[in-house]
Amino acid sequence: MPELAQLERDLGALEKDQSLYDGDNLTGRFLALKRLDFLAEAYRLRAGEQPASNQEQRVRVMQADLARRNQALYQELRARISAGAVTPHQLRTLFEDNGNYRPGDKACLHWRGEAADALAAGLFRSDSPPQRWNGGDSEMIHYEPAPVGALLELVDRVPMTSADRFVDIGSGLGQVVLLVHLLTGVEAVGLEVMPAFVEQAEQEAAALGVSGVTFEHGDARNADLCKGTVYFLFSPFRGQMLQKVLKRLRDEAKARQLTICSFGPCTVTFAAENWLSIEEPEMDNEFRLAIFHSRGDKTKRQPSTREPARANACRC
């Protein structure tokens, strides 16, 4: 266990760092809050020692101050998006500056727990489910937001136009749908089995003034798959349920070419499907974004000559 003197030095250094209160220093606050969590636990374990008790109170005060600064940033950004004052490029830069993914980094492994993920959670309120996960079907996987880095890579590697429709199967509270639409302007749909999650996602879209997105309640085993051209799945289910949805997607691919983007354990199952071709074999990793194409098309999507999608959701 760290000595009290070392803990005091660490806490004192954080208290003196005024850059943590700069509006755009989200990463600095993110790292500081992680350190403060450690300090709070270290002091808690020293309960009964007067110096530790006093320092723990200082930690709590600073945690609250930094959390308020973050909430102010999120509220300001939400207001600007609602007013149409944030361009897709500005939003993209903000997320990129607070994460590890960089365009062209094909070997990037995506983990939740970056400042960019905290930003998305604050902006879209995607870390506050309206009810506890009830387990649903035994093959359904509990709700968890997708890593922002994987979504930035998706936007880079899957060119979409106004002729496309992006569908997130197992859309939770709508973070993927909202972020992809705001960054690209493409029509985006979320399909989610939990009605309370759908309702909250719709409320968030309305509060942000975002049009061009819809959220549908349904079980992917039998619901309308929304005639998507690009599907995203962050391992929302497994086993026979995943196999049934894969069969339905295969049937959809008989009518039109599909691009399917997967992240998480479900990627291994997608890679075994002979009607899908993976862009690059080394994508077959649950911590990488994997991109598959139907009808044996082994090439990447190429930018179309059709009218590109516009980010009219931002009205910019």
Query: What is the DSSP-derived secondary structure letter of residue 223?
Result: S
Report the C-alpha gap between 8 and 1 in whole angstroms: 13
Amino acid letter at 109?
Answer: L
Report the C-alpha gap between 36 and 58 in whole angstroms: 10
pLDDT at 104: 85
pLDDT at 116: 97
- Helix or strand or coil: residue 49? coil
Here the tokens at position 171 are 């859309």
CB 115 within 8 A of CB 67: no
In the chain, where the domains are located = 4-82, 88-294
Residue 95: CB atoms within 10 Å: 23
Per-block mean pLDDT, blocks of 10 residues, the chain (316 long): 84 97 94 96 79 86 97 97 96 96 88 94 93 74 92 96 96 97 98 96 97 96 96 95 97 96 94 92 85 70 45 38
Measured between alpha carbons, how far is residue 276 from residues 184, 247, 271, 296, 297 in Å?
A: 25, 12, 7, 6, 8
Q: Strand 230-233 relative to strand 259-262: parallel, antiparallel, unpaired? A: parallel
Q: Which fold has domain 88-294?
A: Rossmann fold (3.40.50)
Q: What predicted TM-score, i.e. pTM, was given to this entire model?
A: 0.90
Report the C-alpha gap between 254 and 50 in whole angstroms: 71
pLDDT at 82: 96
pLDDT at 135: 60
How many CA atoms, within 13 angstroms, populate the side-chain half-sphere of residue 211? 6
pLDDT at 312: 41
Q: Strand 276-278 relative to strand 290-294: parallel, antiparallel, unpaired? A: antiparallel
Using CB atoms within 10 Å of the CB of residue 279, give its burial: 0 to 12 exposed, 13 to 18 middle, 19+ buried: buried
Report the C-alpha gap between 188 and 256 in whole angstroms: 17
